[in-house]
Structure 1
Amino acid sequence: EGMYATVVEMVRKSNGQRVAVKRMKKKYNGWDQCAKLREIKSLVRLRHPNIVKLQEVVREKNTLYLVFEHLDRNLFEYLQKECQGKPMEPLMVRNFMFQILQGVFYMHSRGFFHRDLKPENILLRGEQVRIADFGLAREIRSRPPYTEYISTRWYRAPEILLRMPKYGPPVDLWACGAIMGELFTTNPIFPGSSETDQLHKVCALLGSPTHQTWPFGMSRAKQIKFSFPSFKVNRMSEIIPKCPQALQLMQALLRYDPRRRVTAGQALRYPFFQVGTDLPVEKKGGEEMLLNSLASDVLRPPATPAAAHSGGGAPRRRLGVTAVKDAQGPVLASMVLNARHKP
């Protein structure tokens, strides 16, 4: 149960396929209104192995349903159940971050940025990653000002914490850095209780920004009468004490100045992701095959929408998903609620 929608796990009667059905709380009177929904606008154009697949969009009695592929759990649940407070091995961090950054790179290359990356929005099937929940996604070409209060606070970039009206794709890379730190520690690295406390925790770990490292941020802080706490030491090595390649990448993802923050494409070329790089644990069999197979999909073009449905029954419009349609009967009649429903 969320603020804008309810998600339940269901099973298609026709083939036993499990799906996740998202029921929007807002009422939609027509398809023109539905087409403006950010989640639909983005996902019909984003077809990539590391982005969740939107299978079907259905409107029934002004209620909108989004039908997604089903995945086992999210990254937060994985950290809680599998790691149980124990640090994740660098090889596993590399696997997860490689896939997350591939999805982000593709998303940005297609003209969207997510704005709400966090472990709960990273879905897993085994060790395969899908980025999900595009409800806050924006087109890169859209004009500012943007919403100030976006993304979960712990993964919010400093330019948003300072309420800058203009920001862009670098906010997703900051979130990736925060997620990467959490994979190593199994705990949020910036667990602020307020926006002010959030900035305090960022400075305590990274050291405070200066006029040299983030001139525009310092000017913005002065404009809104905010004083950065004084922390001179960067303590990132305490989080990753034995993996310099990972530390190098995290430092690049968590730069204060968004203009100097690494892009997703640049991040994917960092030594941390080079197969054969010595990491401080024994290699697991099959990792090179996994990374190489994933790398081949980095720039895979989106699937071409299928031809329009020409048979009888409910009218359908193809928009890069299985079907977009007005329901002729109860939309959930073709599915049954799974006992393992997802609130």
Structure 2
Amino acid sequence: MQGNTRQQLPNARYFHSNMQAVNIPLEDTAYRIHIPSEEPEIPRILSCQTDQEVYVLPFVESSSDPAPPPRRQVLSILSPQHPCAYDIIPSKPYKDLDHHAPGWGRVYFGIILPQVDDGMYQEPSPETVSFVAIKRLNKRVVNEALLQGKKENPYVELLRMQTLGDNIHVLGCFDALQDETYLYIVMPFCEEESLVECIPWMSGAGLEEGQVRKYYEQILENLFYLRSHGICHRDLSPDNCMLHQGRVVLTDLAMSFRVPHDNDIVQRSSTFGKPAYLPPEVFMQFPFSAYGCDLWSSAVILFNLLTGEVLYEHPHFNSILFRYFVLARGIASTTFNERMMEVLMDPDLNEGQSFTLQRATQVVMGLNPAYLQLLDGMLQVAPQQRWTAEQVHEHLSRLP
């Protein structure tokens, strides 16, 4: 049975514009949103501000097949090279992005409506439906934040998705569109969400060892992929590791930067990323290795996967977890050493911290020694003593 066919209302309004110059404090600003024509215009997109401006495609009534209720918004691509529209699903709650800045944007979830005629779109069948995630960003809020020095740059994220996004290592995008108010990034919908949802946090155990190895080998492969293109992610965490079609793909490269081919040492930089995944030299704003920074973050993710625990709140001496697991080497010990005991006997240790340490310690001491050796090699305080990505790969390849 064919899907329901829907037609545009004649009063729909459209907008198109040229990219406005924005002074962005990052090096990757020379880009243009991809379009199929030679004209230097952004693809047209429907404004979703009011009912008069929204591209409403009502269902055609059918006596034999009751029409489902219309969805609330449709983003339509007008170019003949893109014969489809994106229909937002109201039953799927949107994800608010205001943690970046008030009014930053939202992520909606929708489906692709294939075009069957001029202005006509077809409701796909359950067997052929393709789901998408639509990130809608307020350009004014984003540009003001960038001018004030915000490091997370969605224009750089879009650039990475378009140039590196293969949906195997880095999540790509189907389309990049804008109207007068918003930038829209249309991406594949990741049904399995991120590693955050997979990790059994604070349960006294991590994931099954085989699953951990599979996920981590894919993360490491993704880092090799970024390095082959001269890119440092700079914000690697479980939130930015999505599960798409059974494998881990990297997302949110909004803080990424291009690394000089002859030297990956960054002399100075303000703090960026999530403190719980930063190496100590980055947190302290010392010179750091760009690729080494990503590898350290991946080691912290490996610890999360193996234990279900947070390794530390921030990589500094005043973090009791950092003192215990990294400075006192509790990360790789199957027995208590003197420095670990000093931390455990600290009179300033409160009841909650003591309980967290005891639970995490029990999990760590029950880990496969091969993974303890791996964590020990990757999480050395001195950068020059840490394992390289090649050493990590070789170690993993020797595991049974």
Q: Is TM more than 0.5 here?
A: yes
Q: TM-score, normalised by structure 1?
A: 0.63
Of 29, 40, 63, 2:158 maps to 40
**Distance change >3 Å, CA 262–CA 40, structure 1 → 2:** farther
Q: CA deviation at 1:255?
A: 1.9
The offset of 1:183, in angstroms, is 0.7
- Hey, what does 1:254 align to over in structure 2? 379
Higher Cα radius of gyration: 2
Relative to structure 2, which stretch is displaced further, 36-45 or 174-183? 36-45
- Structure 2 residue aligned with 1:206: 326
Alpha carbons 1:236, 1:247 under 8 Å: kept: no
Q: 1:187-215 deviations in whole A, cap 9, x for unaligned?
A: 212134x95534x4223112359xxxxxx
Asked if the contact 2:194–2:242 (Cα under 8 Å) also holds between the matched residues in 1, the reply is: yes
Deviation at 1:8, TM superposition (A): 1.9
Q: 1:72-91 to 2 correspondence within 5 Å?
A: 72=191, 73-80=193-200, 86-91=205-210
Q: Aligned pair in 2 of structure 1 residues 144, 243: CA closer, same or farther (>3 Å)? A: closer
Aligned length: 248
**CA deviation after TM superposition for structure 1 residue 5, in Å:** 3.8
Distance 1:190 1:127, change over 3 A: farther
Residue 131, structure 1, aligned to residue 253, structure 2: no
Distance in 2 of aligned mates of 1:253 and 1:5? 36
Moved more, 60-69 or 181-190: 60-69
Structure 1 residues 173 and 92, CA gap change in structure 2 (3 angstroms): same
What residue in structure 1 maps to residue 130 of structure 2?
17
Higher relative contact order (CA 8 A, sep 6+): 1
SS at structure 1 position matched to 2:384: coil
Give the Cα–Cα distance (whole angstroms) in 1 for the partners of residues 277 and 154 of structure 2: 26
Residue type matched to 1:96 in 2?
Y
Once the 2 structures are TM-superposed, how far is the Cα of residue 62 of structure 1 from its aligned partner? 4.8
Secondary structure of 2:254's match? Answer: coil
Change (3 A) 1:143 1:88: closer
Letter in 2 for 1:269: E
Unaligned 5+ segments in structure 2 are 1-95, 115-123, 148-152, 330-337, 344-359
Cα distance in 2 for residues equivalent to 1:36 and 1:246? 36
Which of 281, 284, 287 is the equivalent residue of 1:162?
284
TM-score, normalized by length of structure 2? Answer: 0.55
Cα distance in 2 between the residues matched to 1:197 and 1:132: 31
Residues 160-309 of structure 1: pairs in structure 2 closer than 5 A: 160-192=282-314, 197-198=318-319, 200-207=320-327, 231=339, 239=364, 241-270=366-395, 272-274=396-398, 277-278=399-400
Cα distance in 1, alignment partners of residues 325 and 181 from structure 2? 48
Instruction: Name which of structure 1's ranges 251-260 and 97-106 shifts more when overlaid on structure 2.
Output: 251-260
Unpaired runs of 5+ residues, structure 1, are 210-229, 279-343
Letter in 2 for 1:241: G
Amino acid at match of 1:252: G
Q: Provide the secondary structure at the position in 1 that maps to 2:163.
A: coil
Superposition CA RMSD, Å: 3.3
Report the 3-state secondary structure (helix = DSSP H, G, I; strand = E; otherwise coil) of the residue aligned with 1:7.
strand
Q: 1:267 to 1:5 in 2, by over 3 A?
A: farther
Residue 26 of structure 1, aligned match among 139, 143, 153 = 139
- 1:140 Cα deviation from its structure 2 partner: 1.1
Cα pair distance change 1:145/1:97, threshold 3 Å: same
